[in-house]
């Protein structure tokens, strides 16, 4: 999965997609997020759950343990290793959902520059990405080490032509189970490994190469260059 995504609708639109009647503590914003070209290290909206309460916070995309100071902060974690490797041991219990509208990939089509594609759900619903991270809770104050990673899996079907990895996207029911602190770690691992949404749930199309510059943040970033919308 490449390192660009969009979060342009509001927190309450993402909460509606989760279908969670729980109380919400929103530390993000009630306004549209308008992040059309979110990049690594930027602050993005992230959900986690404490008891029966859903929390929405702005958290840096990318995390590394404090002892790994000699490497860049990864933005993604491979589902095949995340539950058992030492790198993510500290945050594996800290499950979260990164709600997005779409993500971008770059494809080598033989031209002088790679062609960017936008990937979104066919039904245009928000995309609920399984994530883990270090973030503020009632028992943990904000820290300079806060951050999150999106869990990724091998691509399937036609999506393989776009990129060999994809985010683990959960339907609302599984996203709620993933967020629930009462869900055992073993069950959470099985959800991430085997129950992500299939490639058929998504569509993709070419967008302008302007998305390659993170300073370009307008809604034109998400328009198809073939269809103009």
Q: Which residues are catalytically annotated?
A: 2, 105
Of 118, 166, 148, the residue nearest 6 (C-alpha): 118
Instruction: Say how far residue 3 (Cα) sits from the centre of its chain.
Output: 10
**CB-based burial label for 229 (10 Å; 0-12, 13-18, 19+):** exposed
Are the CB atoms for 135 and 149 separated by under 8 Å? Answer: no
Sheet holding 5-7, edge to edge: 35-38, 5-7, 102-107, 115-121, 202-206
């Amino acid at each position: 999965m490449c390192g660009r995504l969009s979060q342009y609708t509001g927190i309450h639109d993402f909460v509606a997609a989760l279908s969670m009647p729980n109380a919400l503590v929103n530390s993000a914003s009630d306004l549209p997020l308008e992040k059309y070209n979110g990049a690594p290290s930027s602050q993005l909206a992230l959900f986690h759950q404490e008891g029966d309460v859903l929390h929405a916070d702005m958290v840096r995309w990318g995390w590394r343990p404090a002892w790994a100071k000699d490497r860049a902060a990864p933005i993604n974690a491979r589902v095949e290793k995340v539950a058992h490797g030492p790198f993510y041991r500290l945050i594996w219990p800290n499950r979260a959902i990164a709600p997005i509208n779409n993500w971008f990939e770059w494809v080598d089509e033989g031209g002088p520059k790679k062609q960017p594609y936008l990937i979104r759900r066919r039904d245009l619903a928000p995309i609920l990405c399984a994530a883990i991270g270090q973030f503020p809770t009632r028992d943990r104050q904000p820290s300079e080490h806060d951050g999150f990673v999106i869990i990724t899996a091998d691509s399937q079907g036609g999506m393989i032509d776009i990129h060999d990895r994809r985010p683990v996207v959960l339907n609302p029911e599984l996203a709620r189970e993933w967020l629930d602190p009462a869900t055992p770690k073993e069950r959470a691992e099985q959800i991430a490994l085997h129950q992500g949404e299939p490639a058929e749930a998504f569509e993709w199309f070419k967008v302008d190469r302007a998305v390659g510059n993170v300073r370009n943040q307008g809604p034109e970033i998400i328009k198809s260059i073939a269809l103009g919308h």
